């Protein structure tokens, strides 16, 4: 996770979502990570956008001002990565998502016997199960596993590796994982060992790695990233998908769903189900010819 942060807010949720969506679709400066969260005061939200350099975060601040964001609601900061993650995890309770129970080491005693427990402690990458997008992906994976057991799985943009670990522990197979951040790859490997999961992680952009290319096609691809990189990966995911396969996609605001579905339809993927949680959307898509999505498959949490 990069550390140059632009914070916008506090402001009403509708404004925060609009600002987040506008920053996310910019080509420049390049957004590394985005967080939309509720502020301490009721009804108020804030956006945290992370950039690789101080200059890029400054440019993003100027662009935010051009959106009409008041100067007092724009803040630039440089966060120590360990302190930032520790602060974000402080006081968080375990998360239950279907059969999955995601917890920190301090909550081992609370692990239920009827769940697949995944231990993820404070680290320097995204993915603890608490964010709506990670929760949505875990729910989507839980749903998919009720109807089939994928054999070749990859987690693109793995963060802490929670999705790859969940898939490996349930399928009892080796799962591949990639991330552009070497720190995320290191954490994924460490977390996989801790959870006794069979995960092989690589530093790579998307699926651009020789070992990934040699391991395809995949019958399940998971990607909890942002809408813009997901648009750019649609063709690649199609090329790496098995004849009968699924995608779990997240990192999307509700209003970005239609654009993603349209792009993926053009490559042969059909919507199967969606989860909407706190303004974020997770999609389960399938590669199956002549299939029509079932009505009433939207879930609002």
Q: Which residues contact 249 (CB under 8 A, 6 or more apart)?
A: 222, 223, 224, 230, 260, 264, 282, 283, 285
Q: Which of 94, 248, 102, 121 is nearest to 169 (CA)?
A: 102
User: Comparing 53 with 121, which gets the higher pLDDT?
Assistant: 53
What structural domains does the chain harbor?
Answer: 4-79 (3.30.70.120), 127-300 (3.40.50.150)
Cis peptide before 213 (omega within 30 of 0): no
Q: Residue 100 — very low, low, confident or very high, per pLDDT cuts 50/70/90?
A: very high
Tens digits of per-residue pLDDT, 116-136?
A: 999 987 554 455 556 788 889
Residue-level pLDDT at 296: 43
Average pLDDT rounded to a whole number, residues 270-294: 79
Q: Which of 252, 251, 158, 153 is nearest to 204 (CA)?
A: 158
Q: Assess whether pLDDT exceeds 80 at residue 44.
A: yes
Tens digits of per-residue pLDDT, 211-226?
A: 999 998 999 999 998 8
Q: Which of 28-32, 37-41, 215-219, 245-249 has the lowest mean pLDDT?
A: 37-41
Q: Assess whether pLDDT exceeds 80 at residue 269.
A: yes
- 205 token code pair: 């952009």
Q: Residue 33 — very low, low, confident or very high, per pLDDT cuts 50/70/90?
A: confident
- DSSP string computed for 177-193: EEES-HHHHHHHHHHHH
Tens digits of per-residue pLDDT, 141-197?
A: 999 999 999 999 999 999 889 999 999 999 999 999 999 888 889 989 999 999 999
User: Comparing 247 with 48, which gets the higher pLDDT?
Assistant: 247
Average pLDDT rounded to a whole number, residues 66-84: 76
Question: How high is the mean pLDDT of the chain?
Answer: 85
User: Comparing 295 with 270, which gets the higher pLDDT?
Assistant: 270
Model pTM score:
0.72
Residue-level pLDDT at 130: 62
Are the C-beta atoms of 99 and 142 separated by less than 8 Å? yes
Residue-level pLDDT at 92: 55
- 299 token code pair: 């879930």
């Amino acid at each position: 996770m990069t550390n140059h942060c632009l914070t916008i807010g506090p402001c009403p949720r509708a404004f925060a979502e609009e600002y987040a969506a506008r920053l996310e679709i910019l080509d420049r400066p390049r957004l590394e990570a985005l967080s939309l969260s509720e502020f301490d005061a009721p009804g108020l939200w804030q956006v945290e956008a992370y950039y690789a350099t101080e200059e890029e975060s400054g440019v993003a601040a100027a662009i935010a001002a051009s959106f009409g964001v008041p100067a007092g609601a724009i803040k630039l900061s440089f966060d120590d990565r360990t302190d930032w993650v520790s602060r974000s995890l402080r006081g968080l309770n375990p998360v239950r998502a279907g059969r999955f129970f995601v917890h920190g080491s301090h909550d081992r005693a609370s692990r239920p016997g009827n769940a697949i427990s995944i231990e993820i402690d404070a680290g320097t990458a995204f993915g603890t199960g608490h964010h709506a997008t990670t929760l949505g992906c875990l729910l989507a994976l839980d749903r998919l596993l009720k109807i089939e057991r994928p054999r070749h799985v990859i987690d693109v943009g793995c963060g802490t590796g929670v999705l790859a670990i969940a898939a490996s522990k349930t399928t009892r197979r080796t799962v591949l994982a990639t991330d552009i951040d070497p720190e995320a790859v290191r954490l994924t490997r460490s977390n996989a060992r801790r959870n006794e999961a069979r995960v092989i992680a690589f530093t790579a952009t998307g699926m651009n790695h020789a070992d990934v290319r040699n391991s395809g096609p995949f019958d399940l691809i998971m990607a909890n990233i942002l809408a813009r990189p997901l648009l750019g990966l649609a063709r690649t995911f199609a090329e790496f998908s098995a004849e009968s396969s699924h995608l779990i996609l997240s990192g999307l605001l509700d209003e970005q769903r239609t654009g993603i579905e349209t792009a993926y339809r053009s490559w042969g993927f059909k919507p199967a189900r969606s989860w909407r949680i706190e303004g974020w959307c997770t999609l389960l898509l399938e590669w199956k010819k002549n299939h029509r999505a079932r009505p009433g498959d939207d879930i609002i949490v």
